[in-house]
């Protein structure tokens, strides 16, 4: 049984994560990551087939869907492997938490093909309009998206005629959609996507309430935090191994006090991050009133702690971790990429200030309430 990044999740999720960890350990090596770094996308088709066969794309229909999703994404993070799975899970779970029925729309899970989620930090980046009696189209962009060339559908969050958020699906191959590859900070296949009256294939949610929109954006942050937890766990493992092996001044680095104290801080950050993600996923699946807050807190902590952990990992590796023959650079760059795709630390904090602080100040917030 492989060790998993989030061992205290629901046992169903932990067991599944263990299987995913096994698959990724077997299939993802330095060459795979380097291949993506040199030519991001398409995702290796054979690997996607195996990921699908394991059931990764179906986890969203389970009652523990969020726990399963964060468990899986954390393992992808640990492997250093960006994938279309992140967008697909976000599309499904985001729509689930935002939808009144709490169901994942069938359009997102019928065949398990990748979905790219375009959820711009500025909601007015794209608009959806009625363009004929029953035809809707999307216009706007460019929006940053990942694995768009692999995607069978694009999930777009945009504003409707009344300025209310809506969630729609667009066929990336349909006329009106322009997709341009973009070189980015990491090895995650990225694109700039523009729409000029691109036809909508499905409307997943209309006239989202503020609460629904916030629930969706909070889940987005949580899934990003899960990936960051995996990236950080691997960075800690790489660092522990390095400082135990590397000899300087006649001693192993692990014997030097400054190094030991830095590693202690990395491990403490990682422990907090793992617990926060676990807590947020548990509350999200249970639909508790605090679910959104826990998800936002996990995302903010992940954004901050990943910067600290990866920064320390790079420092303790020195030149060894700076050259591309060592895997650390994948984790260092991808962690920043994940944080930025969530809008960046400051954006996450600003949003939380408008959501979290009023809730805490206006109600009897009980810190001893552990669910």
Distance of closest approach, residue 319 Cβ to another protein, in angstroms: 21
At closest approach, how far in Å is the CB of 281 from another protein? 8
Nearer to another protein, 134 or 367 (CB): 367
Question: Toward another protein, which CB reaches closer, 32 or 356?
Answer: 356
Chain contacts with another protein (rule: CB under 8 A): 7-11, 14, 67, 236, 240, 243-244, 254-255, 257, 260-261, 263-265, 267-268, 270-272, 274-276, 278-279, 282-283, 285-286, 288, 294, 297, 300-301, 304, 346, 349-350, 352-353, 356-358, 360-362, 365, 367-368, 370-371
Which residue number, 71 or 118, has a Cβ lying nearer to another protein?
71
Phi and psi torsions of 153, nearest 5°:
-145, 155
Between the alpha carbon of residue 122 and those of residues 76, 165, 180, 365, the distances in Å are 28, 11, 20, 30
Cβ neighbors of 62 (< 8 A, separation 6 or more) are: 12, 68
Nearer to another protein (CB atom), residue 243 or residue 328 = 243
Tokens of 25: 């350990």
For residues 124 and 350, which CB has a smaller minimum distance to another protein in the complex? 350
Task: Quote the CA–CA distance of 180 and 258 in Å, as a whole number.
Answer: 46
C-beta of 137 vs 351, nearer to another protein: 351
Q: What is the enclosing helix (H) or strand (E) of 205?
A: strand 190-205
Least separation, in Å, of the C-beta of 221 and another protein?
A: 12
Are the C-beta atoms of 70 and 37 separated by less than 8 Å?
no
Is the distance from CB of 205 to CB of 215 less than 8 angstroms? no
**Cβ–Cβ under 8 Å, residues 165 and 123:** yes
**Closest Cα to residue 293, out of 202, 195, 369?**
369
Q: Rounded to the nearest whole angstrom, what is the least distance from the CB of residue 293 to another protein in the complex?
A: 9
CB of 353 to another protein, least distance (A): 4
Strands 115-118 and 153-159: what pairing?
A: parallel
CB of 267 to another protein, least distance (A): 6
* DSSP 8-class letter at 358: H
Q: Which residue number, 249 or 370, has a Cβ lying nearer to another protein?
A: 370
User: Could you tell me which residues are beta bridge partners of residue 165?
Assistant: 159
User: Shortest gap between Cβ of 358 and another protein (angstroms)?
Assistant: 8
């Amino acid at each position: 049984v492989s060790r998993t990044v989030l061992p205290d999740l629901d046992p169903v999720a932990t067991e599944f994560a263990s299987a995913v960890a096994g698959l990724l350990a077997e299939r993802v090596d330095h060459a795979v990551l380097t291949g993506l770094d040199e030519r991001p996308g398409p995702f290796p088709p054979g690997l996607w087939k195996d990921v699908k066969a394991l059931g990764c794309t179906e986890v969203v229909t389970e009652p523990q869907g969020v726990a399963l999703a964060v468990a899986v994404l954390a393992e992808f993070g640990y492997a250093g492997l960006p994938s279309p799975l992140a967008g697909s899970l976000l599309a499904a779970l985001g729509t689930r938490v935002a939808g009144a029925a709490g169901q994942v729309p069938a359009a997102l899970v019928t065949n398990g093909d990748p979905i790219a989620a375009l959820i711009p930090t500025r909601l007015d980046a794209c608009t959806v309009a009625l363009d004929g009696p029953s035809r809707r189209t999307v216009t706007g962009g460019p929006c940053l998206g990942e694995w768009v060339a692999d995607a069978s559908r694009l999930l777009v969050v945009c504003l409707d005629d009344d300025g209310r958020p809506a969630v729609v699906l667009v066929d990336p191959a349909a006329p009106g959609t322009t997709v341009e590859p973009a070189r980015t900070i990491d090895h995650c296949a990225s694109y700039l996507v523009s729409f000029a009256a691109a036809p909508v294939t499905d409307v997943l949610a209309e006239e989202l309430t503020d609460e629904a929109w916030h629930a969706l954006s909070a889940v987005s942050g949580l899934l990003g935090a899960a990936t960051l937890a995996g990236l950080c766990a691997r960075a800690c493992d790489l660092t522990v191994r390095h400082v135990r092996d590397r000899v300087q001044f006649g001693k192993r680095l692990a014997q030097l006090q400054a190094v030991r104290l830095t590693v202690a801080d990395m491990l403490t950050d990682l422990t907090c991050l793992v617990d926060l993600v676990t807590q947020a996923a548990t509350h999200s699946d249970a639909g508790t009133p605090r679910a959104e807050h826990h998800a936002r807190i996990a995302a903010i902590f992940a954004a901050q702690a990943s910067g600290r952990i990866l920064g320390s990992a790079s420092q303790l590796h020195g030149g060894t971790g700076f050259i591309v023959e060592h895997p650390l650079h994948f984790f260092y760059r991808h962690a920043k990429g994940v944080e930025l795709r969530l809008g960046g630390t400051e954006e996450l904090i600003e949003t939380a200030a408008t959501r979290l602080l009023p809730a805490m100040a206006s109600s009897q917030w009980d810190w001893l309430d552990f669910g």
